[in-house]
Chain A
Amino acid sequence: MASDNFVIGHFADIASTRAAIQALRADGYDDELEAFYPFPEHGIEEDLFKGKKRSPVRRFTMLGGLVGCLGAFTFTSWMSVDYPLRVSAKPLVSIPAFVVVAFECTILLGAIFTLLSMFHFSKIPNFFRSPGYRRQFSSGTFGLVIRTPKDNSDVVKQRMESLGAEEVEVEYAG
């Protein structure tokens, strides 16, 4: 099995990180390139996900909302018939009154599904060490990590340096 290395570049600001990402993607790095940054940066996201699919989280939000809405109308109607409580001569199944419960359940399930799908796709919770991650990446440094065969790591390192990385480290990836 070929052994790989992680080449980890530390960048100081958004502009140099974006320039480096664009250059590295032009070099042909795609899935082996990973970026870590301390806050959501739409520019970086744009550079990395150009031509790729949108996050599937939205489908789960929709699904949760639908399940909540239909589920709430179903259980309110069924329960009102199963245990009939006549109120002011209104029909047992009074849809307008149930809209409130259905609305709340739509939001509730929509939110829960969104959270769980976000956790699932972002692969959290995950308490194992994440290769290539450095503590600085959560405070103020931008990190670009490339997984590359061991004998190529010097080339990548030099490339990162030429792209303006403040510091470049190499970590054994196995």
Chain B
Amino acid sequence: MSSPGAITVDYKTINDDILRTLEPPTVKWLLLWLSAICCLCVGAYCWVYQILNGIGVAGITHPIMWGVYITDFVFWVGIAHSGTLISAVLFLFRAKWRVPIYRIAEAMTVFAVMTAGLFPIIHLGRPANFYWLLPYPNQRYLWVNFKSPLLWDVFAVSTYLTVSVLFFIIGLIPDIAAARDKATGVRKIIYTLTSLGWRGSHKQWRHYMAAYGFFAALATPLVLSVHSVVSWDFAMSNVPGWHTTIFPPYFVAGAIFSGLAMVMTITIPMRSAFSLEKYLTIWHYEKMSQLIMFTSGIVTYAYATEFFIAWYSQNPYEQYQFWFRPFGYLAPAFWTMVFCNCVAPLTLWWKKCRTNIAWLFVLSIIINIGMWFERFNIIVQSLTVEFIPAAWGPYNLSWIEAGITLGSFGWFFFWLLMFIKLFPSFSLTEIKEIAEVGPQESH
């Protein structure tokens, strides 16, 4: 009997099935892509408007100097996380269920970090000077402040982007080579160039596998470090609601939680659009659901810990902050978060829900809404009621911020949809590797 989720088709069928995703786009794909471009245009218009009129057109003002832009930044970095988790951490654990989803998860990582990276720049008063964040020799004889968590973040996010792109490319090379050998015309030229002349000889595979292992080993601590560093942007300051040591693990778990949900949001429609049910089985979704249940548990526990510590600390500012979150005027944001991240995922305790693809799709969107609100609560609620009541102030979301947030989704899906049509979005090399085909020895 074959193992659960086993792929029992022969190599050539795998090759043909996966490369079928590269066939000319359907009307549905074109409509999706055009809607992504429309959202992107809205975002671009809003950003240009903000550049021309100044950062004042956004709703951020004293005391809430970090509003939706930083919420979006943390949200997108979080989305990026599970890509590396799936490709690197689960690779080291030899978890077979990662194989059909890891390429699309990696693509998601790369495009999500590309999206996240825009927000700190959008948030700058003078975005053209963003490179001042980097330590480079300049005529002002200035160097950056290496003791600032914001500077750590520059290093963490740029390293994460670079390493995820390299890891992504290294995994793609043999697959593009397979696509090259079937392609004709312009595509053949593109794939010949992008596969870098890969032949899959035993000498190449030997160095490739060594490098791949090291990449996974390097990316594993990196994935844990990036969201920890992002959480230090908050936790290193003494704002009530931010100044806490549980932030790094809490952020990392939340990131994996939201990222896995996004993998589901993306792969469920793809699976039916490209008829890939035999590669992405219910078993794979059940495994993802179990990880979502686990991370949802961690996130819920972290929320509870925050309330407990606020009470236990006897710090009136901290206590007020955690009274304000569920009962203040921004309470709907808090309760949305609790419903989406703590209550809705409880349905996954039933096998019926874990194996119901339609429900998983709906739930994955609910979770992503919840995770966006989690970051909104951390950032906006904490800044709304800080220390002295005279300095408290409300937050008024402006249409510019809403437009740019919509634009970020457009930007993300614009790249992702293009990638799906241009390069193999499922790793045919690794699917062949785990396929149980004909008479072969164990390996």
Contacts and interface: CB of A to CB of B under 8 A. Distances in A.
Interface of A: 12-15, 18, 34-45, 48-49, 54-55, 57-58, 61, 65, 75-76, 79-80, 82-83, 85, 87, 90, 94, 97-98, 100-101, 103-105, 107-108, 110-112, 114-115, 117-119, 121-128, 130, 133, 135-141
Contact of B156 (A13, A90, A98, A100): A100
Chain A interface mostly: helix
Contacts of A130: 197, 199, 201
B32 interface: no
Contacts of B205: 37, 40-41, 45
A117 B15 contact: no
Given A111-B215, A118-B170, 15 more contacts: A14-B440, A38-B11, A38-B429, A39-B432, A41-B205, A41-B433, A55-B209, A79-B135, A79-B144, A104-B155, A107-B219, A108-B162, A115-B170, A137-B199, A140-B11
A107 B202 CA distance: 28
A169 B13 CA distance: 24
A68 to B, nearest CB: 9
A100 B10 contact: no
Lowest 10 CB-CB distances: which A-B pairs, in order?
A: A140-B11, A118-B211, A79-B143, A126-B197, A55-B210, A135-B181, A125-B196, A83-B143, A140-B12, A122-B204
B190 interface: no
A114 B215 contact: yes
Interface stretch (B48-56, B145-153, B316-324, B392-400): B145-153
26 contacts: A13-B437, A13-B438, A14-B440, A14-B441, A37-B202, A37-B205, A38-B174, A39-B429, A43-B441, A45-B205, A55-B207, A57-B207, A97-B147, A100-B156, A100-B229, A103-B225, A104-B222, A108-B163, A114-B211, A114-B214, A117-B211, A118-B210, A130-B201, A138-B181, A140-B14, A140-B15
B11 A104 contact: no
A2 B437 CA distance: 42
Given A57-B214, A87-B145, A43 B443 contact: yes
